[in-house]
């Protein structure tokens, strides 16, 4: 038992340590398999906070996480452990939950060490021990867990030690942990770092940017914090009361409280920081959220079917197919009669006797006849004495599932917005100027050492034409602007009246061209 990861030897939590070396989780976790990611997203959609409790399908979600976990999807592994820890969709089994987390620890997943710390603090499947909990959290933070960094960082930002309240005076290390978590896109780290810079350091411009980024990262508390600051006109906002911005942060706070899975990387489209002017908003929370969401392209439709390219009776409209099974209840009819039911009928020899007869039958295409319309009595390719022809009813066309746009699970989950792909694609390198205002997605080539940490579907930015592309970080690796490839996703979130603006003081301009 002593050799199990739950009982591993740990370095005691040291709140007075001298240094902290930032590591990023994305550099440590196993690569994510695309199919496993799809299963994981489907499971999240089945357990979304937007669903009524009775409508959530935890058993199916747990089964999907099990499938994804078998392909080493690290988030699915930890979600599966949580399902067993609290009996969500599976029989509650804290021992099995701990075993799942141990397996994740053996894969080197930083978040697994963070979760093991929580189990020790709660006494869930292990002996309760605050000392071991803090030791696990410290190890997780050192390994790159942004969650652990965001949790421990603020506990070290005191002027002096107050161990009775789990607070210690180690500002350099505490702030370094928060900087590291913030660089990984962690909303809690952005909140704590922004609050510290605002209250402790009085670095108002940077605090404002970090808290704004925290809203992009999905932090409801960052949105609430900025609502209060703009509503009151605090030093954070240069003493300016801006109830128009405050109202938008309030709406986003409400949305993020309802759905903690939301991320809003394109927030600057509808809520840029001062001194930028605000675009018109229709006052609906959903339109604000939709505009700020990340976007994913709709899968292109399959090529046109042969049937849709035929003419006359044989034409089947694009996007439709005949039923997989012929509709029953409509008897076959002789060629000398008329269609008893509107729809598609196919001609077949009643008694195919030769290979040529069989080939003729196979070559026939369905033809559409209206009810009461006589069948075509011509017999192209057949002699008059080759036998009788019967017409068989196949039915009316139905929507072709393969032709319908495939909605990404993230769209069904409500955390992304589907957009049509730009054709032809518009691509630029990071050292160029932005050619079109809209949403741009950044990526590094797959052989770049920082690609795993950098290439994330949330790596999107709303950028203005003529500006320079930003230079995001790629974990611990240096990135040159020329290494970053940018793909234009389009305007994608235009709002009605988006060409008219409201000034920072909330007054409407004299005309939309102001």
* Cα–Cα distance for residue pair 350/390, rounded to 1 Å: 6
Rg (CA), the chain: 30
Q: Do the beta carbons of residue 344 and residue 395 sit within 8 Å? A: yes
**Half-sphere exposure (Cβ direction) of 71: Cα atoms closer than 13 Å:** 15
- The three-state secondary structure class of 354 is coil
* Per-domain residue ranges of the chain: 205-293+495-514, 307-401, 412-490
Residues 6+ apart with CB under 8 A from 2: none
What predicted TM-score, i.e. pTM, was given to this entire model?
0.77
Is 401 in a helix, a strand, or coil? helix
For 139, the enclosing helix (H) or strand (E) is helix 130-143
- pLDDT, one tens digit per residue, over 415-434 is 899 888 888 999 999 999 99
CB count in 10 Å sphere of residue 244: 17
Tokens for 4, please give them. Answer: 């199990």
Q: Is 510's pLDDT higher than 80? A: no
Q: Which long-range contacts (CB under 8 A, 24 or more apart) does 353-358 make?
A: 353/387, 357/386, 357/387
For 13-68, the pLDDT digits (tens) are 999 999 999 999 988 999 888 899 989 989 998 998 888 889 999 999 999 999 99
Of the candidates 355, 329, 372, 16, the one whose C-alpha atom is nearest the C-alpha of residue 167 is: 16
User: Per-residue pLDDT tens for 207-232?
Assistant: 999 999 999 999 999 999 999 999 99
pLDDT of residue 9 exceeding 60: yes
Lowest mean pLDDT among 92-101, 225-234, 373-382, 484-493: 484-493
- Hey, what are 419's tokens? 């957009």
Nearest to 434 by CA among 472, 474, 473, 462: 462
């Amino acid at each position: 038992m002593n050799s199990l990861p739950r009982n591993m030897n740990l370095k005691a939590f040291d709140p007075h340590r001298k240094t902290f070396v930032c590591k990023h989780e994305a550099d440590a976790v196993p690569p994510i398999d695309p199919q496993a990611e799809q299963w994981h997203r489907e499971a999240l959609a089945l357990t979304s906070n937007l669903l009524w409790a009775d409508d959530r399908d935890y058993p199916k979600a747990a089964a999907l996480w099990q499938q994804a976990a078998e392909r080493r999807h690290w988030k699915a592994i930890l979600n599966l452990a949580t399902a067993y820890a609290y009996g969500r969709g599976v029989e509650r089994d804290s021992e099995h939950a701990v075993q799942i987390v141990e397996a994740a620890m053996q894969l080197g997943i930083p978040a697994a060490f963070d979760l093991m710390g929580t189990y020790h603090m709660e006494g869930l499947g292990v002996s309760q021990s605050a000392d071991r909990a803090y030791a696990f959290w410290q190890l997780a933070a050192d390994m790159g867990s942004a969650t652990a960094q965001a949790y421990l960082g603020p506990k070290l930002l005191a002027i002096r030690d107050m161990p009775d309240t789990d607070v210690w005076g180690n500002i350099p290390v505490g702030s370094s942990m928060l900087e590291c978590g913030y660089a990984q896109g962690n909303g809690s780290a952005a909140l704590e770092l922004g609050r510290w810079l605002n209250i402790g350091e009085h670095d108002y411009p940077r605090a404002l940017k970090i808290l704004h980024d925290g809203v992009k990262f999905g932090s409801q508390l960052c949105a609430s914090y900025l609502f209060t600051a703009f509503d009151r006109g605090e030093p954070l906002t240069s003493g300016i009361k801006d109830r128009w911005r405050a109202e938008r942060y309030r709406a986003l706070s409400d949305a993020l409280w309802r759905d903690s899975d939301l991320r809003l990387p394109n927030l600057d489209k509808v809520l840029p920081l001062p001194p930028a002017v605000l675009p018109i908003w229709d006052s609906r929370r959903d339109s604000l959220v939709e505009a700020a969401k990340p976007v994913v392209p709709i899968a292109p439709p399959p090529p046109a079917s042969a049937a849709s390219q035929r003419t006359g009776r044989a034409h089947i409209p694009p996007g439709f197919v005949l039923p997989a099974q012929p509709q029953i209840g409509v008897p076959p009819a002789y060629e000398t009669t008329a269609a008893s039911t509107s729809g598609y009928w196919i001609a077949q020899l009643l008694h195919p006797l030769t290979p040529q007869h069989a080939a003729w039958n196979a070559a026939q295409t369905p033809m559409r006849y209206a009810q009461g319309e006589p069948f075509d009595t011509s017999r192209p390719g057949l002699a008059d004495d080759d036998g009788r022809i019967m017409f068989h009813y196949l039915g009316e066309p139905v929507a072709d599932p393969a032709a319908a746009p495939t909605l990404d699970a993230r769209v069904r989950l409500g955390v992304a917005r589907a957009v049509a792909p730009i054709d032809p694609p518009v691509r630029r390198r990071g050292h160029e100027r932005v050619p079109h205002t809209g949403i741009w997605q950044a990526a590094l080539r797959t052989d770049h050492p920082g690609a795993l940490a950098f290439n994330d579907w949330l790596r999107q930015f709303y950028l203005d034409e003529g500006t320079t592309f930003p230079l995001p970080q790629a974990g611990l690796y240096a990135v040159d602007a020329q290494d970053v490839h940018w793909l234009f996703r389009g305007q994608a979130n235009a709002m009605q009246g988006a060409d008219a603006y409201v000034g920072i003081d909330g007054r409407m301009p004299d005309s939309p061209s102001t």
